[in-house]
Chain A
């Protein structure tokens, strides 16, 4: 069968990563294969919770990258993570966006008070993490009660971005990385203050059952190196130097 390649475990690594990291990690993966010729990087992209369940069930992954500390904490507790390999390597912020070609001139969150801003799209705070963070930011800025009647809820971040891109909402709030993934249609106006309640952190670690622990450690080293961080920053992730 065509697809059953016989590659020994030492020549490849499987990185189970949160879907929001896809574009950035594919680029880092290419850099890794250039740096270490002969080692192939396979990615498994899905929601962090799905990846956690797969690893708990013994899926043959070498590296786990979660979009929030919760799933990583759970795997650390269950002993599935290789001690000392974890790094909380990047974070994300909520930003205010408008359509790239909008007539509405916004320069800050305070400008949302303007009457011309009829509707503001955010994720449903009860269901969408970006929506819960948007609510927290608006409350902190003292804008929640003023703007509440003008908010429209999207059931996922894509829907929020569609509302804004199509001009059905004058502005919206999503993660910076999401806004950058559609930079031709969306313009970033301002960054919201970081959450104190629950920072948006990305965590990476090697899996205890890794078949290629050496490769896993090399990959993590690349992600948290200056080179890796430059790539992450390009896609909108916040990194510390």
Chain B
């Protein structure tokens, strides 16, 4: 049952999507968290709210917004389609977009808190020693916020692996193309294929647990 090729396809697809989405989340989330923690600017609260929304909105609502943005008739999707004849909808890349959007807030929240707890005197010292803002960020702030960044990465990866609602809307449930593990499990359960669903649920739980365990162990290791 578990040797059914479709289960491995779904697992590989989930890992691929979650890895790429998390990599993007580390950079985007780190940058936004830095801005929110270190800078004061007009509209900061609005930016904070917009980036938090995917955390509190039901994923299907987030997915609906993504369709409006990225569909062939969407605000971003239309110009892209007119220029290239390609639409991200119903592709595995759509899964990356959905996972990125829903896991970004977890990264931002965690890293922002970590940056805000970095000793301000160390940051001031760096500036006093003539380091630029970028140098200080890369060589003082982010290294000191490392634990928060790792925690945020683990949370984002776990969230991306489990992403269902927004992915179903934007990427669809296309066996052999976009059916990630959570979507394949939902699909099997809905059509009464319980034995296959059980096997996938166990596989998914074990693998997700393994990742969280490894990440925690790595986060604890002394530098």
Contact = CB atoms under 8 A, between A and B. Distances in A.
Interface of A: 1-4, 14, 16, 19-20, 22-23, 26, 42-46, 50, 53-54, 56-61, 158, 178, 181-182, 209
Interface stretch (B63-71, B131-139, B142-150, B204-212): B63-71
B74 A42 contact: no
A35 B68 CA distance: 37
Interface of B: 12-13, 16, 60, 64, 67-68, 71-74, 77, 81, 87, 89-90, 92, 168-169, 172-178, 187, 189-193
Contacts of A2: 12, 16
A1 B90 contact: no
A16 B172 contact: yes
Given A3-B16, A46-B172, A50-B168, A58 B190 contact: no
Nearest to B77: A58
16 contacts: A2-B16, A3-B12, A19-B187, A19-B191, A23-B193, A42-B177, A43-B174, A45-B173, A50-B60, A53-B64, A54-B67, A54-B71, A57-B77, A58-B74, A59-B89, A178-B192
Contacts of A44: 90, 172-174, 178
A14 B89 contact: no
Given A3-B92, A178-B192, A46 B173 contact: yes
Contact of A14 (B73, B90, B190): B90
Classify the interface of chain A: helix, strand, loop or mixed: mixed
B71 A57 contact: yes
Instruction: Output the residue of A44, A61, A209 with the most chain B CB within 10 A.
Output: A44
Contacts of B173: 19, 43-46
A20 B191 CA distance: 7
B33 to A, nearest CB: 29
Nearest to B189: A158
Contact of B172 (A22, A54, A209): A54
Contacts of A178: 192
A26 B92 CA distance: 21
Given A2-B12, A46-B168, A53-B169, A58 B87 contact: yes
Contacts of A182: 192
A42 B89 contact: no
Contacts of A16: 172
Nearest to B94: A59
B90 A57 contact: no
Nearest to A42: B174
B176 A58 contact: no
A1 B16 CA distance: 9
A1 B178 CA distance: 14
Instruction: Output the residue of B12, B64, B74, B177 with the most chain A CB within 10 A.
Output: B177
B72 A45 contact: no
Contacts of B193: 23
Contacts of A20: 190-191
Nearest to A61: B90
Contact of A57 (B72, B92, B191): B72
Shortest Cβ-Cβ A-B pairs, 8 listed:
A58-B72, A57-B71, A181-B192, A44-B172, A22-B191, A57-B67, A58-B73, A59-B89
Contacts of A59: 67, 71-72, 87, 89-90, 172
Nearest to B60: A50
A43 B187 CA distance: 12
Contacts of A57: 67-68, 71-74, 77, 89
Nearest to A55: B71
A53 B90 contact: no
B88 to A, nearest CB: 10
A202 to B, nearest CB: 15
Contacts of B81: 58
Nearest to A21: B191
A181 B68 contact: no
A22 B190 contact: yes
Given A46-B172, A46-B173, 18 more contacts: A2-B16, A3-B12, A4-B92, A19-B173, A19-B187, A23-B191, A44-B172, A45-B187, A54-B90, A57-B73, A57-B74, A57-B77, A59-B71, A59-B89, A59-B90, A60-B87, A158-B189, A158-B190
